[in-house]
Amino acid sequence: MDAKKDTIKANLEGIMAALPKDVTLLAATKTVSPEYINYAASLGLRLMGENRVNELLEKYDAIDKSKLDIHFIGALQSNKVKYIIDKVSMIHSVDRLSLAEEISRRALAIGKVMPVLVEVNIGKEESKSGVMPEDVLGFVRKISALKGISVEGLMAIPPKSENKEKNIEFLQKIKQIFIDISTKNVDNVNMRILSVGMSNDWREAIECGSNMVRIGSGIFGKRDYGIPPQEN
């Protein structure tokens, strides 16, 4: 048997066994071939997330869509929305009004309402996109008026830190923002998903209230970056 498939099987079974029933597993599939994505689906994986538009388009026809739901989880340029609007069931990385407006416009054009998550720059890092923590509620209120989208929650990538307590501090902060917005009962805002936690911190994220975790290398092993990354 393929050694990589052995690794995927062991990793995926271990994660699924440890995952609480109310937490959704999303496999982050950047650089992973359709063969291995579909193999994971045969073992019970039901949700995958792609980071790059070009890579998603290249893989799309080969993905077993009878088993897998596809989300877009990476930074997204407004002019690329048209390529994925009919191919994904959620967009995680909404961080500016112009992007939300384009998603809404493209969704309405095909008779669809696109579920989205608002990306929060919880560590206020210059190298990352996302809405600043203090601006999230105002941003959510603003985009909630758009007819072609439905705000389903928040996502964040906390700063990398060797200090577990510091990492938990950021995880708790995004959870509090999530709760605060939930209590406002804004129209067209459902606040049902908090997507935080990746291969290195998904257990801590769940303890801090995340109900969706995005795991890539923790399932598929170390990524192969043999092909230079394409811009979205």
Domain ranges across the chain: 3-220
> Which pLDDT score is estimated for 36?
97
Round the average pLDDT of the chain to a whole number and report it: 94
Instruction: For residue range 120-157, list pLDDT tens digits in order.
Output: 999 999 989 999 999 999 999 999 999 999 999 999 99
Angle, alpha carbons 53-58-64 (nearest 5°): 105
| 3-220 CATH | 3.20.20.10
Q: In whole angstroms, what is the distance from residue 81 CA to residue 106 CA?
A: 7
Interval 22-35 mean pLDDT: 97
Nearest to residue 26, comparing CAs of 74, 73, 76, 78?
A: 73
CA–CA distance from 130 to each of 37, 68, 81, 193, 213 (Å)? 28, 27, 17, 17, 18
Interval 209-219 mean pLDDT: 97
How many residues would you count in the chain?
A: 232
